Amino acid sequence: GDSVTQMEGPVTLSEEAFLTINCTYTATGYPSLFWYVQYPGEGLQLLLKATKADDKGSNKGFEATYRKETTSFHLEKGSVQVSDSAVYFCALIPRYGGSQGNLIFGKGTKLSVKP
Amino acid sequence: EADIYQTPRYLVIGTGKKITLECSQTMGHDKMYWYQQDPGMELHLIHYSYGVNSTEKGDLSSESTVSRIRTEHFPLTLESARPSHTSQYLCASSEGLAGVTDTQYFGPGTRLTVL
């Protein structure tokens, strides 16, 4: 079935370090891909999305490119800040199948950024 | 800015009590969801609704029930709470018409503890 695999955390970085959180997926056809972020004590919010191959989603300095050939959607940021400390979820909506348009989430990666 | 509200934010109750977790949205979204988030952060879809009078079970079996009598309101009820129900519960909504590109908007969550 459709699934998302993302790198396990926690990830701890120093401020201004480069961030990569790996995400790969398994799905029939070409799903839409998403990154959601959950700050401490809050619900999730959409960070960025891409709906077709080679699309790049970007927001708040974060980027991710939809790579069909490697079935990946890695999240990157060139210089993280303490305020980026959060849990990051990779997710997809399959284009076909019985998911009824529902999101399929990875297990989440906790990022801690130290000053 | 998404407007989706959950009450209460925190709830501590004894075993056997009946509880209702409230979720409301002011965006006129047709589709609504309930997720259970375990301490390891993983998200599990437990219920969703396409609109008024529609309710569906999600991927994770749950003893809770939901109702959708009004578009904006999607409460979740536990008839007899048990310690195994201790978790964070997140409500979300989406337009439901965008299909594979649908963006979900999340409430802040209710953290439930059953003693």
Per-position DSSP letters for A25-80, written without gaps between them? EE-SS--EEEEEEE-TTS-EEEEEEE-STT-EEEETTEEEE-BTTTTB--EEESS-
Element housing B66 (H / E): strand B65-66
Is residue A72 predicted with pLDDT exceeding 90? yes
pLDDT tens figures, A16-64: 999 999 999 999 888 999 999 999 989 999 999 999 999 999 999 999 9
Residue among A27, A46, A109 at smallest CA distance from A74: A109
Site from A3, A44, A104 to mutate, B interface, most B CB atoms within 10 angstroms: A44
The whole-angstrom distance between residue B78's C-alpha and the CA centroid of its chain comes to 12
pLDDT values of chain B reduced to their tens digit, one per residue, 115 residues: 559 999 999 999 999 999 999 999 999 999 999 999 988 889 999 999 999 999 999 988 889 999 999 999 999 999 999 999 999 999 999 987 767 778 899 999 999 999 9
Q: Give the DSSP H/E element, type plus range, for residue A113.
A: strand A109-114
Q: Does B41 sit within 8 Å of A110, measured CB to CB? A: yes
Q: Quick one: pLDDT at residue A101?
A: 79
Q: How many CA atoms lie within 13 A of A87 on its CB side?
A: 19
Closest CA relative to residue A9, chosen from A107, A78, A115: A107
Total beta-carbon pairs less than 8 A apart between chain A and chain B: 62
Between chains, do B106 and A45 touch, taking CB under 8 Å as contact? yes
Taking every pair of C-alpha atoms in chain A, what is the biggest distance, in angstroms? 45
B100 contacts A100? CB cut-off 8 A: no
Q: What are the distances in angstroms from CA B42 to CA A3, B47, B96?
A: 13, 16, 23
